């Protein structure tokens, strides 16, 4: 009778599971201390520590066109915008340091700051 899994296969599977678990743990710890900075017209209007948010809530910014932010534990997003293209809404949930969403007509910028992974991506172009 032929064995489907050999002892060396089990060692390889265990090593892969340990490596995957280690990467997941390192990535989850790297996001600690992320803060959302909200700018309107280039001036900071709010700073939110996303690690301290316990329940989702909305922030309506006093801008023209109107912009609404949704703040959740560990994430922030532009949920509503009265502008035409809605690129800021399409940016989705911001969860990692250096993520950002910008609504040019309303002159609103939402940027996440915090610890960054030295081996991670330092820029993204759309």
Asked whether residue 30 carries a pLDDT value surpassing 50, the answer given is no
Rounded to two decimals, the pTM is 0.68
CA–CA distance, 120 with 98 (Å, rounded to integer)? 11
The fraction of the chain above a pLDDT of 90, given in percent, is: 62
How does the average pLDDT of the chain come out, rounded?
Answer: 86
Of the candidates 6, 52, 27, 36, the residue with the CA atom closest to the CA atom of residue 119 = 27
Q: How is residue 22 written in tokens?
A: 């280690």
Higher pLDDT, 4 or 27: 4
Q: What is the CATH number of domain 33-113?
A: 2.60.320.10
- Three-state DSSP at 24 gives helix
Q: How far is CA 4 from CA 12, 15, 16, in A?
A: 14, 19, 19
């Amino acid at each position: 009778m032929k064995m489907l899994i050999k002892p060396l296969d089990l060692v390889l599977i265990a090593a892969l599971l340990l490596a995957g678990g280690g990467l997941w743990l390192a990535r989850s710890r790297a996001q600690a201390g992320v803060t959302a900075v909200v700018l309107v017209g280039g001036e900071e209007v709010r700073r939110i520590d996303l690690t301290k948010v316990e329940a989702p809530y909305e922030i309506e910014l006093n801008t023209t066109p109107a912009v609404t932010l949704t703040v959740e534990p560990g994430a922030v997003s532009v949920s509503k915008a009265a502008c035409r293209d809605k690129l800021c809404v399409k940016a989705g949930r911001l969860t990692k340091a250096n993520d950002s969403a910008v609504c040019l007509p309303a002159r609103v910028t939402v940027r996440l700051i915090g610890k960054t992974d030295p081996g991670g991506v330092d820029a993204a172009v759309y």
